[in-house]
């Protein structure tokens, strides 16, 4: 028996696939690598495949190269989920892990969990229990199903525990460990700060191309991201959103990082920036995203991760969604839901600029140590197998 209590080697296989998975898996892989008796492997589904959507995160967060890349690429939800399942099953059977860890709420998460559940391989879900209560969101379906199939459920906030209890998940499976996203923020902040002022932001969609100089010279700026289908697949809303941002950018330069889906939609509707300070750029790496959020006067987004990062950084965040699966960012943090009410959004930005920004605090266990707590649970669980 080893010092850890593990009677035999424990093989933990991580499945990642899309951008928001990488910063969640990085600290867990690091924490487990320090535990004797645990062997790890990494499967990348290939849901995201561009340099700027995947490879840059592996480099910046020092994630070991995946052992296997399933290279499934893009497709409809059914096609993408099915392709991941089809390609993951033989890998699972060949590698025979003792535990598979899945992350967040993307299609790769639910697809891998479903394969494991059918093959009776234990699954741990990192970021379990979050609920927007909006089943039109593909991620909500992924969250609900993954949590029903998981054997170990690691929650980032106590609302997650309550949601899982209500859905009948046994209490002994649920572990309130805190937020692994914040582990990565804590570990990366010094490197991110060292990149200020950011260099090399790449202009896109006909935006002016001296973005770095404009931002370095600006007294204040806003940081904007938008990629949810419910926002960008609605051409009328997207046009009105961009018009609002163009107007805001006359007073406050805006760095808008454009997700591939959003770029496609903006191209389809023939959008070109008109606002003086409207700076459209290609997706940034993790460190630039972090330092831009930390230096920004305000963040406008529909991302889940940015709602959490801004709460930790203390930057006011205006979320272009009617609901959030991360309610502590609103109740304790700096997040405000503005929905699709663009007048409210413009007014909220003016209020921030006038000095009445929402302040907040970090929620419990958002302390940089969540992954170590996950490693403790995995170790103890492994000792009981
Ligand atoms: C996925 C997640 C979403 C997450 C987002 C972060 C699901 C259901 N959704 O949405 O929760 O917030 O990732 O980005 O899993 N594309 C590229 N290059 C890439 C990847 C995608 O150009 O590397 C383009 C393709 O045209 C693709 C589109 O982006 O069709 C959307 O990609 P997809 O993975 O289907 O969903 P996301 O919108 O990125």
The pLDDT tens digits for 357-367 are 999 999 999 99
Q: How many angstroms separate the CA atoms of 211 and 279, rounded?
A: 6
Handedness of CA 193, 199, 201, 207 (dihedral sign): positive
* Structure-token match 């593990």, residue found: 6
Task: Assign 7 a pLDDT band (cuts: 50, 70, 90).
Answer: confident
Asked if 370 and 276 sit in the same domain, the reply is no
Mutate to test the pocket of ligand 1, among 18, 135, 227 (most ligand atoms within 8 A of CB): 18
Q: What is the pLDDT of residues 11-65, one digit of tens each?
A: 999 999 999 999 999 999 999 999 999 999 999 999 999 999 999 999 999 999 9
Asked if 248 and 370 sit in the same domain, the reply is no
| Number of the ligand 1 atom closest to the C-alpha atom of 50 | 23
Q: Is residue 361 part of a domain?
A: no
d(CA 352, ligand 1 centre) in Å: 31
Task: Assign 208 a pLDDT band (cuts: 50, 70, 90).
Answer: confident
Check residue 115 and give its pLDDT. 99
Q: What is the pLDDT of residues 125-141, one digit of tens each?
A: 999 999 999 999 999 99
d(CA 48, ligand 1 centre) in Å: 6
User: Tokens at residue 107, please?
Assistant: 């299609």
C-beta atoms surrounding 363 within 10 Å = 24
d(CA 312, ligand 1 centre) in Å: 25
Asked if 251 and 105 sit in the same domain, the reply is no
Average pLDDT, the chain: 97
Q: How many angstroms separate the CA atoms of 1 and 56, rounded?
A: 40
| Number of the ligand 1 atom closest to the C-alpha atom of 109 | 15
d(CA 261, ligand 1 centre) in Å: 7
d(CA 75, ligand 1 centre) in Å: 9
Ligand 1 pocket member 106 (CB < 6 A): yes
Asked if 373 and 272 sit in the same domain, the reply is no
| Number of the ligand 1 atom closest to the C-alpha atom of 80 | 35
Nearest CA to ligand 1 atom 13: 18
Task: Assign 199 a pLDDT band (cuts: 50, 70, 90).
Answer: very high
Asked if 209 and 340 sit in the same domain, the reply is yes
Contact 152, 125 (CB under 8 A): yes
Nearest CA to ligand 1 atom 28: 261
Ligand 1 pocket member 50 (CB < 6 A): yes
Task: Assign 2 a pLDDT band (cuts: 50, 70, 90).
Answer: very low
User: Tokens at residue 116, please?
Assistant: 């494991």
Ligand 1 pocket member 107 (CB < 6 A): yes
Q: Which domain holds residue 338?
A: 191-353
Asked if 58 and 145 sit in the same domain, the reply is yes
Asked if 266 and 145 sit in the same domain, the reply is no
Asked if 57 and 114 sit in the same domain, the reply is yes
Q: What is the percentage of the chain residues whose pLDDT exceeds 70?
A: 99
Asked if 371 and 330 sit in the same domain, the reply is no
| Number of the ligand 1 atom closest to the C-alpha atom of 228 | 38
Q: Is residue 268 part of a domain?
A: yes
Check residue 47 and give its pLDDT. 98
Ligand 1 pocket member 20 (CB < 6 A): yes
DSSP secondary structure of 291-335: HHHHH-SEEEE--HHHHHHHHHHT--EEE-SS--S-THHHHTSSE
Q: Is residue 108 part of a domain?
A: yes
Mean pLDDT in residue range 306-323: 98
Asked if 129 and 25 sit in the same domain, the reply is yes
Contact 45, 70 (CB under 8 A): yes
Mean pLDDT in residue range 142-160: 98
Ligand 1 pocket member 145 (CB < 6 A): no
Check residue 1 and give its pLDDT. 38
* Residue in 137, 139, 91, 98 with CA at minimum distance from that of residue 115: 91
d(CA 303, ligand 1 centre) in Å: 12
| Whether residue 343 has pLDDT greater than 90 | yes
Check residue 172 and give its pLDDT. 98
| Number of the ligand 1 atom closest to the C-alpha atom of 138 | 8
| Whether residue 86 has pLDDT greater than 70 | yes
Q: Is residue 60 part of a domain?
A: yes
Check residue 3 and give its pLDDT. 47
Cα 34 from chain centre? 24
Ligand 1 pocket member 53 (CB < 6 A): yes
Active site amino acids: 227
Q: What is the pLDDT of residues 44-54, one digit of tens each?
A: 999 999 999 99
Q: Is residue 358 part of a domain?
A: no
| Number of the ligand 1 atom closest to the C-alpha atom of 18 | 13
| Whether residue 5 has pLDDT greater than 70 | no
The pTM is what? 0.97
Contact 326, 305 (CB under 8 A): no
| Whether residue 90 has pLDDT greater than 50 | yes
Q: Is residue 360 part of a domain?
A: no
d(CA 286, ligand 1 centre) in Å: 16
Check residue 290 and give its pLDDT. 98
Handedness of CA 184, 190, 193, 195 (dihedral sign): negative
Nearest CA to ligand 1 atom 32: 74
* Structure-token match 């170990």, residue found: 152
Please count the structural domains in the chain. 2
Q: Is residue 140 part of a domain?
A: yes
Q: Is residue 283 part of a domain?
A: yes
Residue 324: which CATH number? 3.40.50.2000
Asked if 115 and 247 sit in the same domain, the reply is no
Asked if 329 and 380 sit in the same domain, the reply is no
Mutate to test the pocket of ligand 1, among 45, 74, 264 (most ligand atoms within 8 A of CB): 74
CA atoms within 13 A on the CB side of 187: 20
């Amino acid at each position: 028996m080893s010092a850890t209590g593990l009677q035999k080697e424990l093989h933990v296989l991580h499945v990642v696939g899309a951008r928001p998975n990488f910063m969640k898996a990085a600290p867990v892989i690091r924490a487990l690598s320090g535990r004797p008796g645990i062997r790890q492997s990494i499967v990348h589904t290939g849901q995201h495949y561009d340099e700027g959507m995947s490879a840059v995160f592996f480099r910046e967060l020092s994630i070991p190269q995946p052992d296997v890349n399933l290279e499934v690429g893009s497709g409809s939800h059914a096609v993408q989920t099915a392709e991941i399942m089809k390609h993951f099953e033989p890998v699972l059977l060949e590698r025979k892990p003792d535990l598979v860890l899945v992350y967040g709420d993307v299609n790769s998460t639910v697809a891998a969990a479903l394969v494991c559940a059918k093959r009776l391989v234990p699954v741990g879900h990192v970021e379990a229990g979050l609920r927007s209560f909006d089943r039109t969101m593909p991620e909500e379906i992924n969250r609900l199903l993954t949590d029903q199939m998981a054997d170990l459920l690691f929650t980032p906030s106590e609302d997650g525990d309550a949601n899982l209890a209500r859905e009948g998940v046994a209490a002994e499976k649920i572990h309130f460990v805190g937020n692994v996203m914040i582990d990565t923020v804590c570990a990366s902040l010094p490197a991110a700060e060292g990149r200020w002022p950011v260099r090399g932001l790449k202009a896109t969609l006909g935006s002016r191309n001296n973005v770095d100089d404009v931002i370095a010279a600006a007294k204040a700026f806003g940081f904007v991201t938008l990629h949810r289908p419910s926002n960008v697949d609605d051409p009328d809303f997207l046009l009105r959103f961009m018009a609002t941002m163009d107007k805001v950018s006359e007073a406050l330069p805006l760095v808008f990082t454009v997700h591939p889906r959003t770029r496609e939609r903006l191209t389809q509707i023939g959008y070109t920036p008109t606002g003086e300070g409207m700076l459209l750029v290609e997706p940034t790496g993790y460190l630039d995203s972090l330092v831009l959020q930390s230096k920004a006067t305000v963040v406008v987004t529909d991302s889940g991760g940015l709602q959490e990062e801004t709460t930790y950084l203390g930057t006011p965040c205006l979320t272009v969604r009617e609901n959030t699966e991360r309610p502590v960012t609103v109740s304790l943090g700096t997040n405000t839901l503005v929905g699709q009410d663009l007048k409210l959004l413009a007014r909220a930005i003016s209020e921030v600029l006038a000095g009445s920004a929402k302040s907040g605090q970090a929620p419990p266990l958002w302390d940089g140590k969540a992954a170590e707590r996950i490693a403790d649970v995995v170790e103890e669980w492994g000792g009981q197998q």
